[in-house]
Structure formats: structure tokens, C-alpha cells
């Protein structure tokens, strides 16, 4: 299982939100690239970046910070937030981003998802964010009458093989991931799922590791890392199945 330390960027700074509310932002660093280097030094194999301003604006707002992160590390970086056209995908991949995550576009612009899959294959993921089972878009500000599974099956038909699934109610609350919903989504959709939202302890990592057979291939770690509730090297050892920690 792959663990993805998260770097959420707001106005060029590394922050964490609660349930995606911008007014709840806690600033952890003014140097997102430095944070990325720290996670790499602690063993991270992949970095997960979200342009929060971009998610609300509908286009990336923190390009410089993203470029700085990509230059600062040797591990691959995946980026989401406000990616709603092919030109933006091209720009991010040219910057050195390894994978892009389409969010609202999966609901609003399915043709873009299909075209992106045709051009870039597995370098394109879809982020499915759900509040009480229903998909939320546009910075989580709008809920649509579509379930996470319905959207997952739709994007699968468009060529998507991998999704990032976030239970918004768990995000930033250190309340534990929604294991049941995550495992069920992976199993019922047949997609590879990266779990996001709520990871709070090594026990949560173990529980997600147990869902690997259902298609849960990774987990995003956010607030738990920044508060010290989870130490990345220990979490990575569990994710890799190393003896003595599983």
C-alpha cells in the first residue's frame, strides 16, 4: 500500500482544513517545498498536493508553489485542485507533475475526462469527494444528486482506472477513515482507490492495509502527520507489511 503525505496549499502556504472549510485553515508552514523535502527524507514514495485556492477558483492559483515542490523532491508528485481543461493538465505535466487529479470536471465535464484519459492514460486520476454519500464539487461547496459509486462507474467507462476517495465529514477531524464506504467503493467499482480523510493513527493504517485485497491501494495522510499523531516512518513500515508493526 502506498502512503501519500498531503500538502494542501492556500495562498502559497501549507495548511490543513476541517471538512474543506477555508475559514478553518491552520497554517503549518510557509514553505511547502520544504515540507515536501521533509516527507521525502522520512521515506515518502509519493507526494499528494492540493491547490485549495484553485479548487474554489476553478483554475490553479499556486503554480509557483507546485513547481517548487516538484523541483525540491525526487519522488513523484500528484496534484489536484482547479484542473478543468487540457491546457492546465499539459502545463502541470510539463512542470514535472507525475499525475493530475480531476475533481469537479468529472461531474461537469466528462468529455474532458475522456480526452485526458485518451492522451495521458494512468497519469490522470479522478478525485471523488462525498458528503453523506453524495458527491461534492467546486471546492466541496456544492453537492450533486449522485453517489460516489455512480460517479466511479461513470468515470471508469471514460477510461479512469484509479480514484482518490474522500469522505468530507472525516477530513481534518482525525476521526478515522470511513473504512466501510472506502472498501465498498473499491470492491463495487473495480477501481483502484486511494483513501483520503480522517486517518488518525497507525491502527487506521493497519485497517486500510486490510482492504488492499478489495482494491484500496493507498491512503493520503494529512493532519495526523502535521500534528505528530502519526509518524511517517512507522506508517510506511505498516503499509509495506514489515513484520513487527502489522
- DSSP H or E segment with residue 231: none
In a domain, 181, yes or no: yes
202 part of a folded domain: yes
pLDDT at position 244? 54
In a domain, residue 99? The reply is: yes
Q: So what's the pLDDT on residue 175?
A: 80
Q: Does any domain span residue 244? A: no
The C-alpha cell 456544492 sits at 142
Residue 172 has a pLDDT of: 65
The verdict on residue 63 lying in a domain is yes
- Structural domain of 23: 2-239
CA distance 65 to 231: 25
Q: Which residues are catalytic?
A: 8, 129
- What integer pLDDT is reported at residue 138 of this predicted model? 83
Distance CA 117, CA 148 (A): 20
pLDDT in tens, the chain (246 residues): 999 999 999 999 999 877 656 776 789 999 999 999 999 999 999 999 999 999 888 889 999 999 999 999 999 999 999 999 999 999 999 999 999 999 999 999 999 999 999 999 999 999 999 998 899 998 777 899 999 999 999 999 999 999 999 988 877 667 889 999 999 999 999 999 999 988 999 999 999 999 999 999 999 999 999 999 999 999 999 999 986 544
Q: Is residue 246 part of a domain?
A: no
At 59 the pLDDT is: 87
Answer yes or no: is 48 within a domain. yes
- Looking at the structure of the chain, the number of domains it has is 1
Give the contacts of 43 (CB within 8 A, at least 6 positions apart): 232, 233, 236
Indicate the angle between helix axes 63-72 and 32-41, nearest 10 degrees.
30
Where residue 17 sits, what CATH number does that domain have? 3.20.20.70
**pTM of the full structure:** 0.94
- The closest alpha carbon to 241, from 216, 205, 215, 193, belongs to 205
Give the pairing type, strands 134-137 and 124-131.
antiparallel
State residue 243's pLDDT score. 60
Residue 15 lies in a domain: yes
In the prediction, which pLDDT does 246 show?
A: 46
Nearest to 125 by CA among 49, 35, 179: 49
**Given this model, what pLDDT does residue 55 score?**
86
Amino acid at each position: 500500500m502506498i502512503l501519500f503525505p498531503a500538502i494542501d496549499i492556500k495562498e502559497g502556504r501549507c495548511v490543513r482544513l476541517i471538512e474543506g472549510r477555508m475559514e478553518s485553515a491552520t497554517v503549518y508552514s510557509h514553505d511547502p517545498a520544504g515540507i515536501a523535502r521533509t516527507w521525502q527524507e522520512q521515506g515518502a514514495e509519493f507526494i499528494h498536493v492540493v491547490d485549495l485556492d484553485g479548487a474554489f477558483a476553478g483554475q490553479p492559483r499556486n503554480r509557483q508553489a507546485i513547481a517548487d515542490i516538484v523541483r525540491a523532491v525526487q519522488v513523484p508528485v500528484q496534484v489536484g485542485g482547479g484542473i478543468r481543461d487540457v491546457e492546465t493538465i499539459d502545463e502541470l505535466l510539463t512542470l514535472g507533475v507525475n499525475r493530475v487529479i480531476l475533481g469537479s470536471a468529472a461531474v461537469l465535464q466528462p468529455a474532458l475526462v475522456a480526452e485526458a484519459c485518451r492522451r495521458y492514460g494512468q497519469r490522470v486520476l479522478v478525485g471523488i469527494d462525498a458528503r453523506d454519500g453524495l458527491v461534492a464539487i467546486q471546492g466541496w461547496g456544492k453537492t450533486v444528486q449522485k453517489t460516489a459509486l455512480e460517479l466511479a462507474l461513470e468515470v471508469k467507462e471514460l477510461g479512469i482506472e484509479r480514484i482518490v476517495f474522500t469522505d468530507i465529514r472525516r477530513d481534518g477531524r482525525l476521526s478515522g477513515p470511513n473504512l466501510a464506504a472506502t472498501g465498498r467503493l473499491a470492491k463495487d467499482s473495480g477501481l483502484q482507490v486511494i483513501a483520503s480523510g480522517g486517518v488518525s493513527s497507525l491502527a487506521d493504517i493497519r485497517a486500510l492495509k486490510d482492504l488492499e485485497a478489495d482494491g484500496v491501494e493507498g491512503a493520503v495522510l494529512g493532519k495526523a502527520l502535521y500534528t505528530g499523531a502519526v509518524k511517517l516512518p512507522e506508517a510506511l513500515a505498516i503499509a509495506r507489511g514489515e513484520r513487527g508493526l502489522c
